[in-house]
Amino acid sequence: MAFLILADGTLFQGKAIGAKTHALGEMVFNTSQTGYQEILTDPSYFGQIINFTTPHIGNVGVNQADHESEKIHAAAAVFRDYSPHFSNWRAQDSLENFLLKHHIAALTEIDTRALTLHLREQGSQNGCIVTVDSITPDQALSMLQSAPTMQGSHLATLVSTKKAYLYADPIDALAHIVVVDCGVKTAILKTLATYPIKISVVPDTISFTELTSFSPDGVLLSNGPGDPESCESVIHLASQLLEQQIPVFGICLGHQILALAAGAKTRKMKFGHHGANHPIKCCKTGTVFISSQNHGFVVDERSLPEHLITTHISLFDGTIAGLAHRNAPAFSFQGHPEANPGPNELMILFKQFFSRGAVCQKTLILRAFW
């Protein structure tokens, strides 16, 4: 029997596809209508089981170009209706073969609407997917009782690069950006590479001395999985960057890390934001953007020090979606301006990172827009 069981004992039976195994992780739901391949390969989903709310998954297969990393990082996946027959001119393989290649289990024929409503009401919790006959629901539930929760989990270092590498070095480079990899998506690097800049990617364990040896004109703190408060070394690094007035742009987990470095606190959300249709409002102009979101933690608005300004808010629940520092050239966004999947309306944030400080003079922003 193939099944999913949640930590509270709720059981869903389904049909197994992908690897014959079992997997534990935090159960979350994603409301994106497209982009299942990008979502599965996003390192931010490390340690999570994804419930896809869009009913048909697998229709367009998979292809090498749309990977957000070299492998599937999600622990497992749940679908309402898996399509074994795919059709797209870019497709190179089926989703099931892709799951098998990376030894990832998935369930189909699950009532994903009921599962989503349960998570919405009860909150995200650990779950266990079982696609082998040797494990019973009671045994799986026993495994869940001893499984770590997402709160307190330091996962970013598990998906970060182990060695620094050069991603781009165009001959007309006007600046050097160092990306601190906490689980960076390929789309972020590709977006950066559309600008005439040198791009270096470094591990999340890098020290301030090691980082400054790259002579960066700016630093990007990337997205990634896990509890931001557990990223102590990166938080310390970010605080030194702020102190030394080195321009910083934080994305998703990087946004939370920047906030922690500036003296704010974060908190776990009930079920998080996971989707590509989230409305975000710019506090200065009132402009509304549709954004791609993927986070289970948020900066606590009650903890903001005076030197942090809220630049964007979520129109779903009013949580902080963007911050800027009053006294340092640093700003951040709680979401994915690079999209993939999702709308690219917030690509303006990358432009802001470069153009406001006149890249032609090899300097980046000296203030965020507020």
pLDDT in tens, 323-361: 999 999 999 999 999 999 999 999 999 988 886 443 334
Question: How far is Cα 310 from Cα 325, in angstroms, rounded to an integer?
Answer: 9
Check pLDDT > 90 for residue 365: no
Parts of the chain belonging to CATH 3.40.50.880: 156-361
- Residue 1 — pLDDT band, cuts 50, 70, 90? confident
* Element spanning 65, H or E: none
301 is catalytic: no
Which residues are known binding-site members? 44, 224, 226, 253, 256, 294, 296-297
128 is catalytic: no
Question: How far is Cα 362 from Cα 271, in angstroms, rounded to an integer?
Answer: 42
- pLDDT of the residue at 355: 62
pLDDT tens readout for residues 174-203: 999 999 999 999 999 999 999 999 999 999
Q: Taking the domain 2-145, which CATH number applies?
A: 3.50.30.20
Question: How far is Cα 157 from Cα 43, in angstroms, rounded to an integer?
Answer: 11
Question: Is the Cβ–Cβ distance between 82 and 61 less than 8 Å?
Answer: no
Check pLDDT > 70 for residue 368: no
- pLDDT of the residue at 71: 97
Question: How far is Cα 339 from Cα 80, in angstroms, rounded to an integer?
Answer: 24
pLDDT tens readout for residues 67-115: 999 999 999 999 999 999 999 999 999 999 999 999 999 999 999 999 9
Which residues are known binding-site members for L-glutamine? 44, 224, 226, 253, 256, 294, 296-297
- pLDDT of the residue at 369: 36
For the packed helices 232-243 and 253-261, what is the interaxial angle rounded to 10 degrees?
A: 60
Q: How many CA atoms lie within 13 A of 303 on its CB side?
A: 15
pLDDT tens readout for residues 263-303: 999 999 999 999 999 999 999 999 999 999 999 999 999 99
Question: Is the Cβ–Cβ distance between 309 and 284 less than 8 Å?
Answer: no
Question: How far is Cα 184 from Cα 307, in angstroms, rounded to an integer?
Answer: 27
* Maximum pairwise Cα distance, the chain: 64
Cα-based distances in Å from 343 to 4, 17, 54:
32, 30, 17
Taking alpha carbons only, the member of 20, 69, 78 closest to residue 49 is 78
Taking alpha carbons only, the member of 228, 352, 359 closest to residue 296 is 228
Check pLDDT > 50 for residue 244: yes
User: Which of the following is catalytic: 26, 68, 229, 338?
Assistant: 338
Tokens 């980046």 -> residue: 364
Question: How far is Cα 260 from Cα 229, in angstroms, rounded to an integer?
Answer: 7
User: Which of the following is catalytic: 128, 182, 252, 282?
Assistant: 252
* Element spanning 17, H or E: strand 11-18
176 is catalytic: no
On the question of a cis peptide bond just before residue 341, with omega within 30 degrees of 0, the verdict is yes
Parts of the chain belonging to CATH 3.50.30.20: 2-145
Angle, CA 142 vertex, CA 138 and CA 143 arms, to 5°:
120
Angle, CA 310 vertex, CA 291 and CA 208 arms, to 5°:
90
Taking alpha carbons only, the member of 259, 186, 254 closest to residue 225 is 254
User: Which of the following is catalytic: 73, 255, 273, 336?
Assistant: 336
Q: Tell me if the domain spanning 156-361 has CATH number 3.40.190.10.
A: no
pLDDT tens readout for residues 4-32: 999 999 999 999 999 999 999 999 999 99
Q: Positive or negative, the Cα torsion across 199, 351, 237, 26?
A: negative
